Structure 1
Amino acid sequence: MQVNQAIAAALIGGGVDTMFGLIGDSNLFMVNEFVETHGGRYVSAVHEASSVMMAHGYASRSGRVGVATVTQGPGLTNTATALVETVRASTPLVMLIGDTAPSNLRNLQSLAQEPFVRATGAEYLLVESPETAAETVCRALRIAAGQSRPVVVNCPTEYMWVEVAEPALDPSEEFIEAASAVQHELDEAELDTAVGLIASATRPLVVVGRGVVDSNAGKTIKDFSERLGAPLLTTLRARNLYGAGDGSLGVFGTLSSEKGAQAIVESDCVVVFGASLNTWTTAHNTLLTGKPVVHVDVQRATLGRFTAVTAPVCGDAATVAEAITTWLDEGEIEPATFRARVASDLVAHDLEAAPVSRDRLSFAGVLTDLMAAVDEQRTVVFDGGRFLGEAFAHVHAPGVARQVLSTSFGAIGMGMGAAIGAAVAASGEPTVLVTGDGGFMMNGLAELQSAVRQQIPLTVLVCNDGSYGAEYDQYVAKGVRPDLSLFEWPSFADVATALGAAGVTVGRLEDVSAAVEAIRTHDKCLVIDIQVGPDQVVEVPH
């Protein structure tokens, strides 16, 4: 068996049946082996960054490890932004790359790949010998699953044709299942401080982040919030984990509903599980000013990383919640009445949408009408851009697993790759991408062709204001002519049609009905170009 065959076998043995990528010198025969010998599915990208985002979308939607592969040198450097995105999103992902031979110093694609990878924050594993190739791939899958992070595996290209013994792979459930997160012995002093703050609070809030979703602790934390008598809020990444019936007031942060914001202001203690408390969640720390904060996370490095917290507690969310509950019960501490007081004001969605104007064309109005035409069992993917303020308010997925974000690095243009990966994971269900015109031009058009080519149906809603919106706002705010931020794009509907998709332009109110009909009847990729002036867009809060 050759190394390229051993790597393909290791992937299959590790439960991988889908891989995304762009082939080159280092990986083309491994990918062929994965497909032709083992029957794996390979989804090809036009750009290497998109292959990583495809794996991200797949992992986010499926809950499994996403796998991508690119070639060495420029193939790797093209993934930089996407790798950082997946690191910050804590995506369980393995990326397989090659490397030029150390003796081939004149190779144009030579690069010091380890420091490049580590600069993104991803884990780096080197295949140190042909005999260890399969073992290294298996280790990468376990790290990615167990630590919920990207791992880059570098297998020198010259190894690919070396003969090795067939790897002894263990196909048991123990190997295939994701490894559990590292368990920490709880610090009683940390618990004591946290319980003291919670017991003395009369208006506690519980905030839930993506870490709770990933550890399947949602029900435990919901029960905990009921025990405290505390309303629930989530970060954006955990949006739709709970509904109004669970005591949820929606999103905690810059996208809070009016009633959620009121509860945040009134609260006298905030208990946070599995959230980083970044500047968007805390509105530059203003939402936590003067409040005791209990911050629980399984990773100690996360505690207080972005904002000062009163009581950091390192441990698994469910374990900590159960321990605090036990201490409260032993101390006969009664639940607060705060949850009951705000119960009548709970909203049905995470974001309370403002009334939509129907006397002019707006992203809010069009998005509302179009989403009403999409099947409720849908996956929704969000690209980055100024349009997000309205998109988050008017576009919803039916559950947290069906919402995929590509915004952890603040980049634009990452969404189309993520949408393709999510659509592959959500086979048979509609997948909707909401993107901006700048992001769509950056990577969306190229990868739209990837979706068409591989018959992956997507509905793409382009919020087209003919500008780079955030830059437009800054120019206008400073009294500077915004011309440099304005663009005259081609007709996205026409270009989509040329690429083999369907295209509809919404430039007037009377165009909306045709777009709605297209959503209801299309059987292939559909691009809807929603054209609104740059001065008519509601800016996303910062």
Structure 2
Amino acid sequence: MTSSSVAKSVPVRIANAPDSSPVWRIVARAIADIGAKRCFGLVGGANFKVTLALTDLGVEFIAARHEGGAMSMADVAARLTRELVVVSFTAGPGLTNAITGIGEAAKSDTPLLVLAGDVVTGDRQSAFAFNQSELVRAVGGEWRQIADPQTAYLETWNAAARAIRERKPVVLSLPIDVQEMPVMATMGKRHPPLMPRRSLNSDKLAELVATIRSSRRPLILAGHGAVVADAQPLLVELGDKLGALLATSVQAHGMFSGHPWNLGIAGGFSSPAAAELIAQSDVILAFGMSLNMWTTKKGRLIDDHAQLVQIDVEKGRIGKHRPVDLELEGDASQVATALLEALAAEDVSGIGWRTPEISAIIDGKSNRNAPYDDTSTQEHIDPRTLSKAMDDVLPNDRTVVVDGGHFVGWVARYLSVPDHRGWCIPIAFQSIGLGLAGAIGAAVTQPERLTVLAVGDGGFLMSIAELETAVRLKRRLCIFVYNDSAYSAEVHHFVPEGYSAAMAQFPVTDFAAIARGYGADGCVVKTLADLDAVKSWVAQGAQGVFIVDGRINPKLIADWYREIFGSANL
């Protein structure tokens, strides 16, 4: 957050002509005309007026306590709604405070328009001055600047269109002197730019159809790209036609929830059933999935003899992490539609492996039913036991937002979600601390659902200022803290190698007490009996913010963590 002193260096402006408006109003008008509904941010001297103009035009403004929080709120809101979301920051540290969130949005293909106030054009002596473009581009965002007041409307429109078409955060720099310049009022289009569809390679499509014809145990894998493309109904239809099994990456978790042939997550968080059956698949259709080490268990999940097909809207992503047998560049929905059309007249009755035997494996070897040795004591509860109990206690109509950390796999395995809009995991940049703000973004956009934040104690403390925002906005939010008083990923990484991890371990934090200090409520959970307070809160309608301080076993190392980061691999 910065002071308003940046505005003091602005020259006295020339009075506007009767039929003109300052650039800051024109920028706001363009954003409203595009159809943006929400703006997250913090106001300062360099963005106060443009943000106020947005609210005058009916764009809702949600004030955060930190620019990084505002960025994460907007990121998750945009992912869940598929709408253009705006973020507004002032000059200098207003933008630098948000840069981790911009990096996360860039790596997650999130379309965002970031309004970044800036110093007077050419003023490099200001305390707020720095090279915005280099910083933004360094983390994968795109930077543009309004320099000519006469093109302000068009530049704003083009920046928003670029964000939507390229699925990326676009930062629009607004020098404060330019903001005050008069310009003729401009009216524009009142519909958002459309995403163009690429034409498909007909030869490769024909090859893909032939490959499917030869299969007997097909599998459809859906990744983040399938979520972005809203491909769920088409992939379900394609899977049903082929008798295929269905699975997702962790980013697309929930896409096939409730489908009887859903294997759940593919990769390190796979159930025993998913690991067993994915390895038996002979043709794997990966829609919008990167096939990185996480989703393939470093390649061990997919049989060497399986025909692996990767479908992605970006050619540069295909084959990046592992070789594939067939590639097809295209949007997930577009390719699924083309396949359904090509297979419409085909006899595919010989394809598929949806049998009672396979169904028994899916149920019997699910994460929910998989056995484990419960490590609970009177002082610490096993996180698997607690996660399963929380899944039973909380309402099914939920949105689960997950922060980063060692605990993530327990959430993915044991907290169910109703659909892919009920799940968001903003950890593409591998940063912890983005979850709380992201959960607020989810609660703002999907208020009809209970928002559940799953977070470690380290990530929660890193971002705890936004707890005030959640309480102030009166959102329904259950914060489920996996509290082992440590940055446990580091503890479990280095202690087995013989190092002391004392600098990553901390005294116990009482999050229930902190909750009450912020005007929320909460309870400490060491045993299943302690969940009675959560049950009571749910029974009363699950209103407001409630923190569940789960004192989990600090010595338990997740099996997926051992597998990926085992001492032999570190």
* Bucket of the pairwise TM-score, normalised by the shorter protein: over 0.9
Q: How does 1:211-222 map to 2 (within 5 A)?
A: 211-222=225-236
Distance in structure 2 (CA, Å) of the matches to 1:54 and 1:473: 30
Matched residue, 2:242: 228
CA distance in 2, matches of 1:95, 1:112: 16
Once the two structures are TM-superposed, the CA of residue 300 in structure 1 deviates from its matched residue by: 1.3
1:158 matched to 2:177? The reply is yes
Write the letter of the residue equivalent to 2:152.
A
TM-score (norm 2): 0.88
What does residue 256 of structure 1 align with?
A: 270
| Per-residue Cα deviation, 1:482-541 (whole angstroms, up to 9, x for no partner) | 322211143222122112221322234442222332343353222221112310353544
Superposed CA offset, 1:249-272 (max 9, x none):
211211111111111111222111
- The alpha carbon displacement at 1:161 in A equals 1.6
Match of 1:296 in 2: 311
The C-alpha deviation readout for 1:105-129, integer Å capped at 9, x for no partner, is 2112211111211111122222131
Q: Are 1:342 and 2:358 matched, yes or no?
A: yes
SS in structure 2 at match of 1:379: strand
1:406 to 414, 426, 430: 426
- Partner AA of 2:85 in structure 1: G
Equivalent residue letter for 2:69: S
Distance 2:350 2:108 in 1: 34
Shift of 1:452: 1.8
One-letter code of the match for 1:5?
A: R
> Is it true that 1:184 corresponds to 2:198 in the alignment?
yes
Tell me the alpha carbon deviations over residues 154-200 of structure 1, each in whole angstroms, 9 at most, x when there is no partner: 121211222212221222xxx23x622x3222223323443343333
How far apart in 2 are the matches of 1:69 and 1:349? 48
User: Which stretch of the first structure deviates more once superposed, 283-292 or 249-258?
Assistant: 283-292
1:240 aligned residue (226, 237, 254): 254
Unaligned runs of 5+ in 1: none
Q: Which amino acid in 1 is paired with 2:285? A: V
Q: Which shows bigger deviation, 185-194 or 115-124?
A: 185-194
Residues 388 and 540 in structure 1, CA contact (< 8 A), matched pair in contact too: no
Distance (Å, rounded) in 2 between the aligned partners of 1:509 and 1:347: 25
One-letter amino acid matched to 1:50? G
Task: Please give the per-residue CA displacement for 1:275-301, whole angstroms capped at 9, x wherever unaligned.
Answer: 122221111222235132111112212
Whichever residue aligns with residue 101 of structure 2, its letter is: A
Per the TM alignment, residue 315 of structure 1 is displaced from its structure 2 partner at its CA by: 1.7
Q: Which moved more, 1:499-508 or 1:381-390?
A: 499-508
- Note if contact 1:276-1:306 (Cα within 8 Å) is conserved in structure 2: yes
Structure 1: distance between partners of 2:358 and 2:553: 39
Partners of 2:271 and 2:143 in 1: CA distance: 41
| Contact map agreement 1:381 1:405 (CA 8 A) in 2 | yes
Task: Find the counterpart in structure 2 of residue 53 from structure 1.
Answer: 72
Q: How does 1:441-452 map to 2 (within 5 A)?
A: 441-443=461-463, 445-452=464-471
Q: CA deviation at 1:350?
A: 8.0
Query: Are 2:550 and 1:530 equivalent residues in the alignment?
Result: yes
Q: Deviations over 1:196-234 (max 9, x none)?
A: 433333322221122222222222222222333321111
Deviation larger for 93-102 or 318-327: 318-327
- Answering whether residue 123 of structure 2 is matched by residue 108 of structure 1, we say no
Could you say which residue in structure 2 is the equivalent of 1:373? 393
Letter in 1 for 2:32: I
* Displacement of 1:473: 0.5
- How many percent identity over aligned positions? 29
- 1:266 aligns to what SS in structure 2? coil
Q: Are residue 128 (structure 1) and residue 144 (structure 2) matched?
A: no
Name structure 2 gaps, 5 residues minimum.
1-20, 565-570
- Judged with a 3 Å threshold, the aligned counterparts in structure 2 of structure 1 residues 190 and 352 are, in CA distance, closer, same or farther, namely farther
The 1:425/1:196 distance shift into structure 2, 3 A limit, reads same
Q: Please give the alpha-carbon distance, in whole angstroms, between the structure 1 residues aligned to 2:219 and 2:496.
A: 36
2:17 alignment partner in structure 1: none
Residues 20-78 of structure 1, C-alpha deviation per residue, up to 9 Å, x if partnerless?
A: 0011222111112222x224321111221111110012112222122111122222122
2:183 match: secondary structure = coil
Of the structure 1 ranges 334-343 and 16-25, higher mean CA displacement relative to structure 2 is found in 334-343
Q: In 2, distance between residues paired with 1:510 and 1:228?
A: 47
1:392 aligns with 2:408: no
String of CA shifts for 1:315-359, please: whole Å, max 9, x gaps.
233333344455556775654243346244444998545357496
Question: Aligned partners of 2:479, 2:283: CA distance in 1, in Å?
Answer: 41
Contact in 2 for aligned 1:386/1:540 (Cα 8 Å): no
Query: Aligned to 1:10, which of 25, 30, 45?
Result: 30
Structure 1, residues 370-415: CA drift from partner, whole Å, max 9, x if none? Answer: 3333222111111111111211122122111121211111111000
Judge conservation of contact 2:312–2:318 (CA < 8 Å) in 1: yes
- RMSD, aligned α-carbons: 2.4
Which amino acid in the other structure matches residue 88 of structure 2? T
- Answer yes or no: is the 8 Å Cα contact 1:206–1:225 preserved in 2: yes
Structure 1 length normalisation: TM-score? Answer: 0.92
Aligned with 1:78 (options 90, 97, 115): 97
Whole-angstrom CA distance in 2 between matches of 1:214 and 1:426: 17
2:53 is equivalent to residue 33 of structure 1 = yes
| Contact 2:280–2:303 (8 Å) recurs in 1 | no
Q: Which amino acid aligns with 1:414?
A: L
Partner of 1:314: 329
Distance in 2 (CA, whole Å) between partners of 1:523 and 1:322 is 42
Contact 1:367 / 1:395 at 8 angstroms: preserved in 2? yes
Match of 1:272 in 2: 286
Q: 1:354 is matched by which residue type in structure 2?
A: A
Once residues 338 and 99 of structure 1 are traced to their aligned partners in structure 2, the CA distance between those partners, rounded to angstroms, is 59
Compared CA separation, residues 347 and 161, structure 1 to 2 (3 A)? farther
Match of 1:515 among 518, 530, 534: 534
Tell me the distance in 1 between the aligned counterparts of 2:346 and 2:538.
Answer: 57
Cα distance between partner residues in 2 of 1:505 and 1:253: 32
2:507 maps to a residue whose letter is E
Q: Is the 8 A contact 2:231 2:332 kept in 1?
A: yes
Distance in 1, matches of 2:198 and 2:366, equals: 32
Structure 1 match to 2:213: 199
Conservation of the 8 A alpha-carbon contact between 2:115 and 2:172: yes
Aligned residues of 1:387 and 1:537 also touching (Cα < 8 A): no
Whole-Å Cα distance in 1 between the matches of residues 339 and 447 of structure 2? 41
Tell me, in whole angstroms, the C-alpha distance in 2 between the residues paired with 1:473 and 1:250. Answer: 27
In 1, Cα distance between the equivalents of 2:367 and 2:262? 11
Give the 3-state SS of the residue equivalent to 2:184 in structure 1. Answer: coil
Between the aligned partners of 1:359 and 1:464, the Cα distance in structure 2 is 14
Number of matched pairs: 535
